[in-house]
């Protein structure tokens, strides 16, 4: 629902439930969130990254793998035990 429609409904006293969806942060912002977590706790997992950013497992993998390919973080472990740490 656009804001002008919402304003018109409110002006006419009509009651309507309005639902807002909060979008996940964009990739660079999400990756910065991951880096901040790593700096504070020493590492991040795919699962923890998903919990923090509200993204899918595949998107989390792509983001974290992107940080690895950029040479910013390294990965250790396999599958669910994989951790990402600052180089």
CA-CA distance, 6 to 37, in Å (whole number)?
Answer: 38
pLDDT digits (tens, 9 = 90+) for 67-81: 999 999 999 999 889
pTM attached to this predicted model? 0.69
What's residue 53's pLDDT? 92
Phi, psi for residue 46 in degrees, rounded to 5: -60, -45
Mean pLDDT of 1-6: 58
Residue with structure tokens 């999400």?
30
- Here the tokens at position 6 are 């919402």
* pLDDT for 15 beyond 80: no
The helix (run of H) or strand (run of E) holding residue 74 is: strand 73-76
CA-CA distance, 67 to 55, in Å (whole number)?
Answer: 16
- Here the tokens at position 20 are 């807002």
């Amino acid at each position: 629902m656009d804001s002008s429609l919402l304003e018109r409904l409110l002006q006419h006293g009509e009651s309507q439930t309005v639902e807002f969806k909060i979008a996940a942060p964009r990739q660079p912002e999400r990756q910065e969130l991951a880096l901040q977590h790593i700096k504070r706790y020493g590492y991040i997992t795919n699962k923890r990254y998903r919990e923090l950013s509200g993204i899918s497992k595949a998107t989390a993998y792509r983001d974290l793998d992107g940080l690895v390919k950029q040479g910013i973080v390294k990965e250790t472990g396999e599958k669910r035990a994989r951790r990402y740490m600052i180089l």
